[in-house]
Structure 1
Amino acid sequence: MMAGNLFVVDLTYIADLSKIDALLEPHRTFLKSGYDRGVFLASGPKEPRTGGVILARADNRAELKKLIDQDPFKQEGVAEYRITEFNPVMKAENALL
């Protein structure tokens, strides 16, 4: 297993989708930086489109929160974030966890 703790970041939109859409490109640039740093493992919108989910790996919650604070959605106050740490006791044989 790779080093670091696993987290689910649950975003809930608190603004009109037009405001979300206006920030989508900067948000995706932010996500790319998280992938480039090896912190983000997967991400995508919820269905129905009420927010999104990020699967992340970080040394601790404080490190992850510091990164999340750079998200344009957070900086512009259009989404709320819930960060949940979890310990996978089972995984698929080929999982990159």
Structure 2
Amino acid sequence: MFVVTLKFSANKARASALMEGHNAWIKQGFDDGIFLLTGSLQQSAGGAVLAHNTSRADLEMRLQQDPFVVGGVVSADILEIAPGRTDDRLAFLRA
């Protein structure tokens, strides 16, 4: 399982021009069964993605296709988590 933070860079002003492509990229992540959750980081710092069902290498390649990353609007940081204990509703993350 991965937590990805997408933190705004100095090019944050370009976000609106790339938003349609970024939203299509997010939709594709859900359609592919990789993204479980996306959302905004508070204080308008950027966004976050909860991902699973993928390898780190494949996730890194997917991130390089995000128009926000390509356009230098955000920088991506990946945290890899090996779930040990979960609520029963999240048991699928331990697989």
Band of TM-score, shorter chain:
0.7 to 0.9
76, 79, 88: which is aligned to 2:83?
88
- Alpha-carbon shift at residue 14 of structure 1 (Å): 0.2
Q: Deviations over 1:56-75 (max 9, x none)?
A: 01432111111111000011
Aligned to 1:10: 5
Aligned to 1:49: 44
- Alpha-carbon shift at residue 88 of structure 1 (Å): 1.3
Cα gap change, 1:93 to 1:58, in 2 (>3 Å):
closer
TM-score, scaled to structure 1: 0.86
9, 22, 28: which is aligned to 2:23?
28
Unaligned 5+ segments in structure 2 are none
Unaligned 5+ segments in structure 1 are 1-5
In the alignment, structure 1 residue 73 sits paired with structure 2 residue 60:
no
- Alpha-carbon shift at residue 27 of structure 1 (Å): 0.5
Q: Deviations over 1:41-83 (max 9, x none)?
A: 1001111111110000143211111111100001111110101
TM superposition outliers: structure 1 runs of 4+ over 2 Å: 15-18
Cα RMSD between the aligned structures? Answer: 1.4
Q: Residue type matched to 1:52 in 2?
A: G
In the alignment of these two chains, the number of paired residues is: 92
Q: Name the one with the larger helix percent.
A: 2
Q: Residue type matched to 1:21 in 2?
A: S
Greater Cα offset, 21-30 or 38-47: 21-30
TM-score, scaled to structure 2: 0.87
